[in-house]
């Protein structure tokens, strides 16, 4: 493993510990007008942001600092117009979409969600000071955006990005284990990882963290801190099947049974958007866009199947990805991803 890869992995682990203070982005909150109904909008304008640790296996930049994915999307609370960021507010809105949004009975459905309040748990420490006053989680905004992209006949490529962003936003905002992790001291964090070898032979920090979580779970007895770290890593990286299999041991060690329903709802919600992203990728494979190679699409298809606990389909997609043209670094990932298809089995009773 290269020096860069080892450093990225170490930064990734440190990110989990210092995420509230060491990785702040810069930006400000501004007031804008909705281009459809002229309702006042509170929006985040980012000047810079940190994304420590490189990319996750599904090609999304991993969260660190004021991650753009969860602070930039915009949703009007009055007419429910949705868009990617403040930079797209100045783009013309199709008349067809305006008419639909202003109609007495809108064709767009707002999913149920728990509103974000200024001091609530859904405002992560890693975005402190850069969350706008919008009360909808980012995944809700992407859901409405995807509906509107479909309504106006936009490309599967854009619809895929909205669905994939929504899945990631669920991971980042609907992770009930984060409050336990942020309460840990450096000493507790280090102790939870004591004896865990996180070195691997490829530059894939996210896979290294997943591997570390699995190694923690091989312990015959889990401490509370070990359970928090392992569960947080699996949830943050979308390793849903692993988390489901290991959850009885994790929640027993943490001692907070009420977390079970929250985790189950979070997993089910992410899978909704993973399924939508997968459908878009399958559509794109019928007529690949210029922006992305077919091999990359097959790789993404493998990732979504893997996260949806469909191992046979995932292996087939990874194999097809390797038959096509891929950057060298992605070839290494595609060869290694099948390793992650093995599920952590619960250890012996404690």
Q: Which of 44-48, 235-239, 271-275 has the lowest mean pLDDT?
A: 44-48
Per-residue pLDDT tens for 98-114? Answer: 999 999 999 999 999 98
What sign for the dihedral angle of Cα 194, 218, 300, 304? negative
In angstroms, the CA 240 to CA 247 distance is 10
Q: Please give the residue that has the higher pLDDT: either 59 or 11.
A: 59
pLDDT of residue 52: 47
| 172, 70 contact by CB (below 8 A) | yes
Contacts of 77 (CB under 8 A, 6+ apart): 39, 134, 135, 136
Q: What is the mean pLDDT of residues 252-274?
A: 96
Q: Which band of pLDDT confidence, cut at 50, 70 and 90, is reported for residue 328?
A: confident
Say whether pLDDT at 282 is over 90.
yes
pTM of this structure: 0.86
| 272, 174 contact by CB (below 8 A) | no
Q: H or E stretch including 83?
A: strand 82-83
Q: What is the mean pLDDT of residues 129-141?
A: 87
Q: Which band of pLDDT confidence, cut at 50, 70 and 90, is reported for residue 51?
A: low
In the structure encoding, which two tokens stand for residue 226, read together? 């070990």
| 171, 68 contact by CB (below 8 A) | no
What sign for the dihedral angle of Cα 266, 141, 15, 196? positive
pLDDT of residue 186: 85
List the beta bridge partners of residue 82.
75
CB atoms within 10 A of CB 337: 22
In angstroms, the CA 175 to CA 181 distance is 11
Computed over every residue of the chain, the mean pLDDT equals 84
If you ran DSSP here, which 8-state letter would residue 92 be given? P
| 260, 247 contact by CB (below 8 A) | yes
| 19, 11 contact by CB (below 8 A) | no
Say whether pLDDT at 349 is over 90.
no
Q: H or E stretch including 33?
A: strand 26-33
């Amino acid at each position: 493993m290269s020096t860069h890869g080892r450093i990225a992995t170490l930064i990734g682990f440190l990110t989990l510990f210092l995420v509230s203070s060491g990785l702040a982005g810069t930006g400000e909150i501004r007031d804008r007008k909705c281009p459809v109904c002229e309702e006042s909008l509170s929006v985040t304008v980012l000047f810079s942001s940190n994304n420590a640790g490189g990319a996750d296996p599904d090609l999304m930049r991993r969260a660190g600092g004021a991650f753009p994915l969860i602070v930039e999307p915009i949703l009007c609370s009055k007419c429910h117009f949705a868009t990617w960021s403040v930079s797209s507010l100045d783009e013309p809105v199709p008349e067809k979409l305006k008419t639909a949004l202003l109609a007495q009975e809108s064709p767009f459905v707002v999913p149920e969600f728990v509103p974000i309040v200024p001091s609530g748990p859904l405002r992560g420490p890693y975005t402190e000071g850069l969350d706008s006053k919008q009360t909808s989680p980012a995944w809700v905004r992407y859901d409405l955006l995807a509906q509107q992209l479909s309504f106006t006949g936009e490309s599967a490529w854009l619809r895929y990005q909205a669905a994939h962003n929504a899945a990631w936003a669920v991971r980042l905002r609907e992770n009930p284990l984060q409050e336990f992790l942020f309460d840990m001291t450096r000493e507790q964090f280090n102790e939870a990882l004591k004896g865990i070898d996180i070195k691997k032979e490829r530059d894939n920090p996210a896979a290294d963290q997943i591997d570390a979580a699995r190694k923690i779970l091989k312990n015959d007895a889990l401490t509370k801190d070990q359970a928090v770290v392992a569960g947080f890593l699996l949830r943050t990286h979308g390793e849903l099947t692993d988390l489901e299999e290991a959850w009885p041991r994790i929640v027993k060690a943490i001692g907070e049974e009420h977390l079970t329903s929250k985790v189950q709802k979070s997993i089910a919600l992410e899978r909704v958007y993973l399924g939508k992203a997968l459908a878009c990728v399958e559509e794109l494979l019928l007529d690949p866009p210029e922006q992305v190679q077919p091999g990359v699409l097959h790789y993404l298809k493998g990732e979504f199947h893997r996260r949806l606990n469909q191992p046979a389909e995932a292996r087939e997609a990874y194999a097809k990805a390797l038959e096509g043209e891929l950057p060298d670094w992605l070839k290494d990932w595609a060869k290694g991803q099948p390793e992650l298809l093995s599920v952590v089995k619960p250890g012996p009773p404690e």
